[in-house]
């Protein structure tokens, strides 16, 4: 077991109708002018945005708007938000949407408080002095950005996707109403299940030491997501199942499932980031397409963890052969991904991965991770190439 820091200051307001509390939460933040940040689709169609705006107006909370965030949120819109925030004296960013909107809001929060190019943070050239506070009304259970310290932005100039993490942008509050996730298309819902599971699995598969309590929480979370994901494939409007998954999404990425593990793995995430940066595939689907290949590649360096995962998450019977049990856990995970409509091969996306493209992806990934990544097994550029190839040739 290793020393750890844990900091999850976000005030969670969870349940039916809780979006009605947005104005009182903003009022207690004592802000003067809010930047209301959102996407372009469902928040408008469902009337949620109109409801939030009415609530702010009724409470006499001054706000300006910036919509148009897309999946894999763009640096150009972040720049637009920063300029708007600076010129209009914004002192609070309210994100209404999913992980992309929140990540974009966090980038604006850094940039609006800085006198340098915000991309310098994502490019590891600077560190921030401060950031504007961020609040969230969540509409997608997936990214966990509503409690996390991380934000991932895509620079269109070169299709470069980069993450940056700092406690100062952990949201002040997050409103989580599971009803708001019910209008999401099935495919995106399933991408969310995958992303949620992966945030815990990236922390779970380590060789650096573990904590029993953290493992118990992680395994309970994974079992809960698997069970309720299968319910939601049949019955997408099931409130209880939506709620279980939504709360799992927040707990999966607020650090709780990594306490004491000595460092997260996150290789699958980093390997996937280059795929969704270049081809604009859905992040959750990209993770599902890569994970099995990553798992088989690192298996022998982290065998006891894979066996424990198979036993405690998938209830695989102990055959006496540790490797066989571990492989069965990986196979069941991939079967589960397929059963919720996720790909388990990069070929399923339809693009071609030539040797040149793989070379480019691996190079970008190497640069993004600073040479190496991984806690189950430390991976380098050559390993990335092999995993891209394995995930494509399946």
The site for its own copies, by CB under 8 A, has a size of 38
Q: By CB under 8 A, what part of segment 249-268 binds its own copies?
A: 251, 259-260
CA distances from 265 to 109, 141, 374, 377, 378 (A): 27, 22, 4, 8, 8
Q: Which is nearer to its own copies, 8 or 303 (CB)?
A: 8
> Computed from CA positions of residues 254, 194, 308, 290, in that sequence, does the dihedral angle turn out positive or negative?
negative
Q: Which one of 227, 237, 323, 338 is in contact with its own copies (CB under 8 A)?
A: 227
Instruction: Tell me how far, at minimum, the Cβ of 251 lies from its own copies, in Å.
Output: 7
Give bridge partners of residue 34 from the DSSP assignment: 63, 92
Task: Classify residue 390 as exposed, middle or buried by CB count within 10 Å of its CB (0-12, 13-18, 19+).
Answer: middle
Binding mask 170-209 for its own copies (x = CB under 8 A): ----------------------------------------
Q: Are 336 and 309 in contact (CB under 8 A)?
A: no
From the list 66-74, 131-139, 220-228, 361-369, the region that binds its own copies by CB under 8 A is 220-228
Instruction: Tell me how far, at minimum, the Cβ of 252 lies from its own copies, in Å.
Output: 10
111 binds its own copies, rule: CB under 8 A:
no
b or e along 37-75 (b: 16 or more beta carbons within 10 Å of the residue's beta carbon)?
Answer: bbbeebbeeeebbebbeebbeeeebebeebbbbebbbbb
Q: Which is nearer to its own copies, 17 or 350 (CB)?
A: 17
From the list 52-60, 109-117, 235-243, 271-279, the region that binds its own copies by CB under 8 A is 235-243
Q: Are 144 and 133 in contact (CB under 8 A)?
A: no
Instruction: Tell me how far, at minimum, the Cβ of 3 lies from its own copies, in Å.
Output: 3
In this structure, the strands spanning 33-38 and 92-97 are parallel
137 binds its own copies, rule: CB under 8 A:
no
Instruction: Tell me how far, at minimum, the Cβ of 273 lies from its own copies, in Å.
Output: 28
DSSP string covering 126-159: ---S----EEEEE--SSS-TTT-SEEEEEETTTT
Q: Are 232 and 189 in contact (CB under 8 A)?
A: yes
Q: Which one of 70, 220, 303, 390 is in contact with its own copies (CB under 8 A)?
A: 220
Instruction: Tell me how far, at minimum, the Cβ of 180 lies from its own copies, in Å.
Output: 14
Residue with tokens 């927040």: 250
Instruction: Tell me how far, at minimum, the Cβ of 254 lies from its own copies, in Å.
Output: 9
Q: Which residues contact its own copies by CB under 8 A? A: 1-9, 11-18, 211-213, 216-217, 219-221, 223-224, 227-228, 239-240, 243-244, 247-248, 251, 259-260
């Amino acid at each position: 077991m290793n020393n750890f820091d844990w900091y999850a200051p976000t005030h969670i307001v969870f349940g039916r109708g809780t979006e009605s509390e947005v104005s009182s939460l903003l009022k207690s933040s004592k802000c003067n002018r809010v930047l209301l940040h959102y996407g372009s689709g469902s928040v408008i169609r469902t009337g949620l945005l109109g409801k939030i705006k009415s609530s702010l107006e009724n409470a006499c909370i001054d706000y300006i708007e910036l919509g148009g965030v897309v999946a894999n949120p763009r640096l150009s819109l972040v720049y637009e938000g920063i300029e708007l925030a600076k010129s209009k004296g914004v002192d609070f960013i309210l994100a209404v949407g999913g992980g992309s909107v929140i990540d974009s809001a966090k980038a604006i929060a850094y940039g609006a408080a800085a006198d340098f190019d915000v991309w310098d943070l994502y490019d590891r050239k600077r560190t921030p002095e401060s950031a504007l506070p961020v609040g969230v009304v969540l509409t997608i259970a997936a990214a966990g950005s509503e409690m996390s310290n991380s934000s991932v932005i895509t620079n269109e100039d070169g299709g470069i996707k980069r993450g940056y993490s700092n406690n100062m942008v952990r949201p002040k509050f997050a409103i989580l109403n599971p009803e708001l996730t019910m209008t999401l298309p099935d495919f995106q819902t399933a991408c969310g299940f995958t992303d949620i599971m992966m945030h815990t699995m990236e922390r779970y598969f380590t060789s650096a030491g573990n904590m029993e309590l953290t493992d118990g929480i992680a395994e309970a979370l994974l079992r809960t997501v698997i069970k309720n994901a299968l319910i939601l494939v049949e019955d997408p409007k099931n409130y209880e199942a939506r709620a279980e998954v939504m709360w799992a999404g927040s707990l999966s990425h607020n650090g709780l499932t990594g306490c004491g593990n000595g460092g997260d793995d996150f290789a699958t995430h980093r390997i996937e980031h280059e795929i969704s940066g270049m081809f604009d595939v859905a992040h959750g689907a990209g993770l599902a397409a890569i994970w099995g290949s990553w798992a088989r590649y690192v298996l022998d360096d982290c065998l006891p963890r894979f066996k424990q995962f198979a036993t405690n998450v998938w209830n695989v019977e102990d055959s006496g052969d540790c490797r066989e049990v571990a492989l069965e856990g990986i196979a069941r995970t991939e079967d589960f991904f397929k059963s919720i409509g996720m790909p388990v091969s990069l070929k399923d996306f339809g693009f071609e991965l030539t040797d040149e493209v793989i070379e480019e992806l691996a190079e970008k990934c190497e640069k993004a991770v600073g040479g190496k990544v991984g806690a189950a097994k430390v991976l380098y550029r050559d390993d990335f190439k092999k995993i891209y190839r394995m995930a494509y040739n399946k």
